Amino acid sequence: MRHNDELDINAYVDGELTPEERLEFLEAMRDNPELSREACELTNLKSQLQLAYANPPGLSAGATARKRSPWGAIAAGTVLLTTGLLGGWVLGTAPNHSERFVMLDAEGRGQAPATAESPETRIVVHLTNPNQAVAGELLDDVEHMLRAYQRDGQPLRVEIVSHGDGLDLLRTRLSEHQERIGKLSQAFGNLTFVACKNTIDRVEVSQGIEVNIIPEAQITGSGVNHVAKRQKEGWSYIRV
Amino acid sequence: MHWLSRIRRLLLLGLLLPTLALAGAEAEKVLYHLDSDDPGKQREALRMMQNHINAVKPDQLDLVVVLNGNGISLLLEQDALSRRSSTGRANADQVVTAQVDNLRGQGVRFLVCQASMQARHVQRERDLYHVDKQQLVENGMLAMVHLQQQGYAYLKP
């Protein structure tokens, strides 16, 4: 990053960057988990401040909501980036319309290949189960999917949002899959792990401990809010 | 009333009625996800499905259940436990199978994840209660994504 990071974070959170600068910043965030964590925390702080001082008269609710939540911009930027990257990659390789995927017709027994209307399959996994064996099986499924889509040159994006008891998967002290998460994150740029800040805060306050999140994970203010937003954006939703 | 506006009304009605009829005929598509082997939770899920069916008109609900992870225990026959090397629950007792039969009779489809079966050394014919090949999906999560892409609403009891 050429510019001063802290200035950029503030400008980004305040929505003062030009589209080009924002794109550059998003790219930098993608490569630098620490930066994205700081941006997320700053956003969280900002929204808390806004909540504390309530809505000043004269400010429309819509404007406040927009300011409070840069996730839309982040999502749009990320989707743009991913689409661009994947698009280039897809164009580079000959698309191979495999019939591997079982597609279900109205009777649930169709075998036709996927003809998705959306060019990209997007899945948000909402993880609230603390069981590490269950989380391991989830990672198996996700890895299977990532590899299958990669083989077929089909664009895919997967987000695993750890929330409530599900946060254990992303806690350095409790996760049994930290090494695997590191490897998967490295191998698949289209896989994102997201930790819920509200949960982290709650655990820290109630247990009087410091919660350490594995470095590959991004942090969002509210896990539920993030998941709800993804569903509104048309992502497929799986709760584990 | 002017004849032109009357014709326009008739035309509009003619356009609207088939659309309404089609919209009315379209079944509600719902996907239930079951991944727990807790018998209480499974019983509750089956009850929810029956209530759901009762709440809509006959043939107006396209209900699919996807069993993955520990959820496949719903259709795991009780004597299958002794045959398998891994431990876990097998919940397909007489009460459960009667309920499953009843739901199937009302058009409910139970789809089972093959990846979860393999991880638990479960074989379809030997261990599962009346599951034919067409009710197997290679990967439950992938099937649920595809179903949602085809307009199925996702419910996790």
Q: Which residue numbers in chain B have pLDDT < 50?
A: 15-22
Q: What is the spatial distance between Cα A163 and Cα A129, in angstroms, rounded to a whole number?
A: 9
Beta-carbon separation of A134 and B137 below 8 A: no
Superfamily of domain A119-239: DsrEFH-like (3.40.1260.10)
Identify whether B119 is part of a domain.
Answer: yes
Nearest to A236 among B116, B119, B149 (CB): B149
The amino acid at residue B30 is: V
pLDDT computed for residue B64 by the predictor: 98
Contact B143, B136 (CB under 8 A): no
Question: What CATH number did the domain enclosing B127 receive?
Answer: 3.40.1260.10
- Mind giving me the DSSP string for A1-35? --S-HHHHHHHHHTT-S-HHHHHHHHHHHHH-HHH
Q: Cα A175 vs. chain centroid, distance in angstroms?
A: 19
Whether B109 and chain A come into contact, CB under 8 Å, resolves to yes
The predicted model scores a pTM of: 0.66
Q: In terms of Cα–Cα distance, which of A63, B14, B70 is closest to B6?
A: B14
Report ipTM for this prediction.
Answer: 0.80
Task: Measure the CA angle with vertex A205, ends A202 and A211; round to 5°.
Answer: 75
Identify whether B124 is part of a domain.
Answer: yes
Q: In terms of Cα–Cα distance, which of A125, A123, A122, A128 is closest to A198?
A: A128
Give the model confidence (pLDDT) of A148-204 as tens digits.
Answer: 999 999 999 999 999 999 999 999 999 999 999 999 999 999 999 999 999 999 999
* Spans of all domains in chain A: 119-239
Q: In terms of Cα–Cα distance, which of A118, A117, A116, A138 is closest to A127?
A: A138
pLDDT of chain A, 240 residues: tens digit per residue: 444 555 566 566 566 666 666 667 666 666 666 666 566 555 554 544 443 333 333 333 333 333 445 555 555 555 555 555 554 444 433 333 333 334 444 444 433 334 445 589 999 999 999 999 999 999 999 999 999 999 999 999 999 999 999 999 999 999 999 999 999 999 999 999 999 999 999 999 999 999 999 999 999 999 999 999 999 999 999 999
Beta-carbon separation of B64 and A104 below 8 A: yes
Q: In terms of Cα–Cα distance, which of B151, B28, B23 is closest to A116?
A: B151
Beta-carbon separation of A123 and B145 below 8 A: yes
Identify whether B126 is part of a domain.
Answer: yes
